[in-house]
Structure 1
Amino acid sequence: MRTSRAERATAYAVLGLATVLALYPMLLILVQALQPDRIGDTGAFHIENFKAAWVQGHFGTYLRNSVVVAVCVVVLSTALASLAGYAFGTMRFRGSSVLFYLLLLGLMVPSEAIVIPLYYDLRSLDLTNTYVSLVFPQVAQSLAFGTFWMRAYFRSASTDIVEAARMDGAGHFRILWSVLLPMGRPALATMALLIFMWTWNEFLLPLVMITDEGLRTAPLGLSNFQGQYTSGTALLAAGAVLVALPVVLVFLFTQRHFIRGMVEGAVKG
């Protein structure tokens, strides 16, 4: 299907406008982070704002905690979602549809509805103020989406390749590990990136579960930093850039797989 010049021009104009609207807030924060933090300071760019925010806001500790939590959640969620998605996508067993739709209820229940009961349950087990209280609940929250995503991929995978592997004597684990997962790197990368972003940006769960400053995550630490430096907008903007930078870097390194996974999902859907 060929498109006219007018249609291409309209598409580029819409995409350009969307790009400007998406980038403008980020550029505004970056420019603000480079402004002088105190009246009377001179100079065009104040790179030292990032160092000051890093030291005064203890962002080294907060970012380390966020990295630990995000990596654990992504690894566990990806592994469990791959296993569950393979089972629901390639196997037929009694009650599979009921179990799958029961699992999808996790997509419909907001975290705000369960965070208070979850807090009391974990407190009774003496698990608050630990990484466990941050990792396991977010793995459970991500598992419903991950299973749905991987099930869709496994159901769209080539059955001829799977049957050929079975004829060669490969079992379920061998087919999953050596055949389907290598073919599904874009789907895995897309799912892992989405889970990473959701986990990194999670604010409510650390706010409720964590009172120890040494275990605060980056978004929670940024909120605390905002309370200390409400008048220092440059340092606050620098802290926001530090918190957002890991997500931006991860996306830049995985964007090819992410875009390919989204496009393939849209085409197959």
Structure 2
Amino acid sequence: MIVSRRETWLGRTMLILLMAVTILPFISLFVTALHPSGTYPSGLEWPESPQWSNFVDAFKVADMGTLLWSSFLIEIAVVPVSLFIATLAGFALGHLRPPGARIILVAFVLGLTLPREGVIVPLYYQMRDLGLLNTRWAIILPLIGLYMPFAVYWMRAHFVNMPEDISEAARIDGASTWQMFWRVHVPLSMPALSSLAILLFLWTWNQFLLAVVLVSDPAQRTMAGALGAFQGQWGTDIPLLCAGSLLILAPTLIVFLVFQRQFVSALLQGSLKG
């Protein structure tokens, strides 16, 4: 397919515009964070004396060391468990295809249409009845359940395209279903697993609604959820608030930049197979 020069320049122009729209808010946050504490900056004016200490002050004021530890505990509880369950379910629905697999798949697809705002009130009462309110379990358990529709559908889309010859060769060699899954299919699924892990990490780190509604103690929340308490206390100090927001966003940006090749390769792999 030959692309004309006009189409090439139009595509590049659109990419530049989209990049500018995406990056501009981060630039605005960064410039604002460098203004003196307590001021009200206007626009993207660079301060005469950048206050780099605002980042240190925001880290200390928000007690982000405690918040980092809380977010880390929630991440290591949510992401591995979600990956394990989704991989098992995706392998069963996409490769083994037991009776009723289509009905189960439709149920997961319907779960994708369920808005989280619509289940937050029932979740609150359920966590209260279980005695889990104001604990990290009130965030961990609902997140695992809410991630399942997308995670299972993602892994099922991968396994459904795996060649049957691989499984037949494993069975000829005497491999059981579990051995075939763990020793053959899981190693071949690393691109899909790594990209799903990145998505789950980012979504969990940026989880705000569940953390604010189900947990009242900021030290038990995610980093993004704790920003609500930080904003309530320091909402009038715009530079300090922007510095705190950037500190919370930094880990997600670093993770995505480090693992972007794996993420893109998984998406391309899925598009080529589809």
TM range, smaller chain: over 0.9
Give 1:9's aligned residue. Answer: 9
Give 1:128's aligned residue. Answer: 133
Q: Alpha-carbon deviation of 1:209?
A: 1.1
Q: Alpha-carbon deviation of 1:164?
A: 1.5
Q: Alpha-carbon deviation of 1:267?
A: 3.1
- 1:207-247 alpha-carbon deviations (Å, 9 max, x no partner): 12112232122122212111222221111000000110111
Contact 1:63 1:243 (8 Å CA) reproduced: no
- 71-80 vs 226-235, greater mean Cα deviation: 226-235
Q: Alpha-carbon deviation of 1:139?
A: 0.3
Contact 1:119 1:209 (8 Å CA) reproduced: yes
Q: SS state of the match for residue 155, structure 2?
A: helix
Q: Measure, in 1, the Cα distance between the counterparts of 2:208 and 2:167.
A: 42
The CA RMSD over aligned residues, in Å, is 1.7
Contact 2:32 2:239 (8 Å CA) reproduced: yes
2:109 maps to 1:109: no
Q: Measure, in 2, the Cα distance between the counterparts of 1:27 and 1:178.
A: 46
Q: SS state of the match for residue 67, structure 2?
A: helix
Q: Alpha-carbon deviation of 1:88?
A: 0.3
Q: Measure, in 2, the Cα distance between the counterparts of 1:247 and 1:144.
A: 23
Give 1:191's aligned residue. Answer: 196
2:30 maps to 1:25: no
Amino acid at match of 2:7: E
Contact 2:92 2:98 (8 Å CA) reproduced: no
Give 1:262's aligned residue. Answer: 267
Give 2:161's aligned residue. Answer: 156
- 171-180 vs 229-238, greater mean Cα deviation: 171-180
TM-score, normalisation: structure 2: 0.91
Q: Alpha-carbon deviation of 1:177?
A: 2.0
Q: SS state of the match for residue 2, structure 2?
A: coil
Q: SS state of the match for residue 259, structure 2?
A: helix
Residue ranges of structure 2 left out of the alignment (5+ in a row): 40-46
- 144-153 vs 4-13, greater mean Cα deviation: 4-13
Contact 1:207 1:220 (8 Å CA) reproduced: yes
Give 2:42's aligned residue. Answer: none
Q: Measure, in 2, the Cα distance between the counterparts of 1:102 and 1:9.
A: 44
Q: Measure, in 2, the Cα distance between the counterparts of 1:200 and 1:38.
A: 28
2:245 maps to 1:243: no
Residue ranges of structure 1 left out of the alignment (5+ in a row): none
Number of residue equivalences: 267
- 1:30-62 alpha-carbon deviations (Å, 9 max, x no partner): 1211222246xx853222111100111122222
Q: Measure, in 2, the Cα distance between the counterparts of 1:113 and 1:264.
A: 34
Q: SS state of the match for residue 156, structure 1?
A: coil
Q: SS state of the match for residue 180, structure 1?
A: helix
Residue 233 of structure 1 is aligned with which of 229, 235, 238?
238
2:88 maps to 1:83: yes
TM-score, normalisation: structure 1: 0.93
Contact 1:71 1:196 (8 Å CA) reproduced: no
Give 2:227's aligned residue. Answer: 222
Equivalent residue runs for 1:156-175 within 5 Å:
156-175=161-180
Q: Measure, in 2, the Cα distance between the counterparts of 1:164 and 1:248.
A: 42
Residue 53 of structure 1 is aligned with which of 58, 69, 84?
58
Contact 2:74 2:136 (8 Å CA) reproduced: yes
